[in-house]
Chains A and B, each alone.
Chain A
Amino acid sequence: AQSVTQLDSQVPVFEEAPVELRCNYSSSVSVYLFWYVQYPNQGLQLLLKYLSGSTLVKGINGFEAEFNKSQTSFHLRKPSVHISDTAEYFCAVSERGGGSNYKLTFGKGTLLTVNP
């Protein structure tokens, strides 16, 4: 089974500061990786995903992530955060669940808190 590890459970930052949320994956075979965001009391929304090709992936709301095969990492970054970026962020890997269907296996999440 594949897994992802989010190294930080909480990341507090000040508004307009840069932020990096860390994610490491376990698989040695090809992986498909996702970052989702969950705003308070809401469902999850896709920020970005890495399928293949360019290792730098750009997503919504100014976020980007870099796939690094040698370090088995897929860290999420934003150069300047806003108060509205306060949310829980989940890294996930797509793995076979049954038949030809795939499921998402999530990390434990990182709570990003942006302070004024």
Chain B
Amino acid sequence: DTAVSQTPKYLVTQMGNDKSIKCEQNLGHDTMYWYKQDSKKFLKIMFSYNNKELIINETVPNRFSPKSPDKAHLNLHINSLELGDSAVYFCASSLQGYRTDTQYFGPGTRLTVL
């Protein structure tokens, strides 16, 4: 059983398109995250949700819109894709978003914008 799963694993699309990435966790955690890993492997948080409520919203363009229909799911919708959006996007979850919590990561979605 995969703890944190993401779909799709690969996404290739043209500039200007709109795309979504889905994430699901079966760990019973309250908190979920989206991270972006750039081509140099640098990881940076984008968003965090706690029990369907947006808690952390870093300086991310408003073309990126996360949605959490329930606490087990966190989706990421991206409008008007740009070349610079090409990256690997990781979903993660933790028990309650506390300082000491371990975050569990999904396998990642590699987005390529042409």
Binding site for B on A (CB under 8 A): 32, 34, 36, 38, 41-46, 49, 51, 88, 90, 94, 96-106, 108-109, 111
The answer for the CA separation of A106 and B55 in the assembled complex, in Å, is 19
Give Cα distance in the complex from A111 to B107, angstroms: 18
Q: Mark interface residues in B93-114 (1 if CB within 8 Å of A CB, else 0).
A: 0000111111111111000000
List B residues 21-63 near A (Cβ within 8 Å).
31, 33, 40-45, 48, 50, 55-57
Q: How many Å lie between the Cα of A99 and that of B48 in the bound state?
A: 11
How many interface contacts (CB-CB < 8 Å) are there between A and B? Answer: 71
CB < 8 Å neighbour of B107 from A36, A43, A103: A43
CB < 8 Å: which of B40, B56, B100, B106 contacts A97?
B56
State whether B48 touches A97 (Cβ < 8 A).
Answer: yes
